[in-house]
Amino acid sequence: MAPQFAKPEAKLWARENFKGLEAPIFPSFTPDLSELDEDGIRWDVNHIIANGMVSILIAGEVCSMTQEERKRFVSIVNDEAKGRAFTSVTAILESVEQNIDIMKHHEKTGGTLALLGHPVAYDPESEEEIYRNYKYMCDSTDLAIQFYPGRLKAKRFHPSGWPMDLLPRIAEIENVVAAKITGSVPLTFTLEFFHRIGDMVLVADPTPCNWFVTVTKFGQQWAGAAPFYSTQTPEDQRNVKLFNALVRGDYDEAFKLYWQSEGNSAFSWSAYSHVNYAETGIVSAYADKYTHWCNGGNGGLLRPPAGRLYDYQREAMRAGLRAIGLTPRENEEEFFVGRVNYAKGARLRRY
């Protein structure tokens, strides 16, 4: 849903409208990984909306794609989600110019927000330079901006990896409406964001166990982007229900829903123990696509460089889903070629 606001009104618009959960969508490809799979992408858009998400983050940075492919990915998602969900785009690409380019395309094709962080090819010399770089990118677009500190990790400026004294200045930028906290960081990191800028922009921690503090004590009104579809289905929207219960202040319902999914934790840890996103910046999108497929998503492999899922990791994820009462899909060949492609007759090549 493209926003109906002028740039100076962006913060007010977000506070009035951006409420609920946001999940990422990752690209789907043809079985030989040579082209984008438009039908598979559209399947995932509809499945994410059916899961109760209010916004979809178009994550085109998670694997090898040309800038033109990223733009086509954005166009497909925006077309399919039109009028039914907000869309955001990851602008944490190789350069400032690519970030600006993808935001302009997102805006032109009906997008609402951008998850904007500093590009990969960037090493700031000072805190002032960090601010100037960020403001330059914000000024290039009329999109509502979700500030994303998770890809910088400049510990020479602050032990947390982000210079906290800069937060109010960034929050003052006209179209910055929110701050998205990276998963796996200490709760203290999130709480300092609320302390410093919680009255200026929306702050979102994607970690459900933290919501018992951030939602009930600090008024968090949206969460994400995170693969909430990994532990729920359209028929059993337990993460959506958990967040909404905490917004209402219904602790009894919230605790019941939280512990309902806790049985997945040990299995997930064994499957994801080789991944340290907080320190490496490498997104485990290949694993998220697998669990999404288990619960009804399109699935399909990502282009290298992307992680490889071994059989014992996939079984750990499946065991985690079974432990919380969900029934994962069984035909793994369908995952490898993508659910939509499999329905069209595609199969793995055998030698």
CATH code at 45? 3.20.20.70
Query: In this predicted structure, what is the pLDDT of residue 274?
Result: 61
133 part of a folded domain: yes
Domain count of the chain? 1
Does position 47 have pLDDT exceeding 80, yes or no?
yes
Q: What angle do CA 243, 147, 198 make, to 5 degrees?
A: 60
303 part of a folded domain: no
178 part of a folded domain: yes
CA–CA separation, 2 vs 17, rounded Å?
12
CA–CA separation, 102 vs 92, rounded Å?
10
Closest CA to 90 of 42, 56, 57: 57
15 part of a folded domain: yes
At a CB cut-off of 8 Å and minimum separation 6, what does 136 contact?
96
CA–CA separation, 200 vs 192, rounded Å?
13
CA–CA separation, 286 vs 271, rounded Å?
12
268 part of a folded domain: no
Closest CA to 12 of 163, 188, 154, 176: 176
28 part of a folded domain: yes
Does position 4 have pLDDT exceeding 80, yes or no?
no
166 part of a folded domain: yes
Q: Which domain holds residue 240?
A: 7-247
At a CB cut-off of 8 Å and minimum separation 6, what does 350 contact?
none
pLDDT class of 153 with cuts at 50, 70, 90: confident
Q: Are 68 and 60 in contact (CB under 8 A)?
A: no
Average pLDDT over residues 282-300: 90
DSSP classification of residue 35: S
Query: In this predicted structure, what is the pLDDT of residue 154?
Result: 84
Query: In this predicted structure, what is the pLDDT of residue 121?
Result: 82
Q: Are 17 and 327 in contact (CB under 8 A)?
A: no
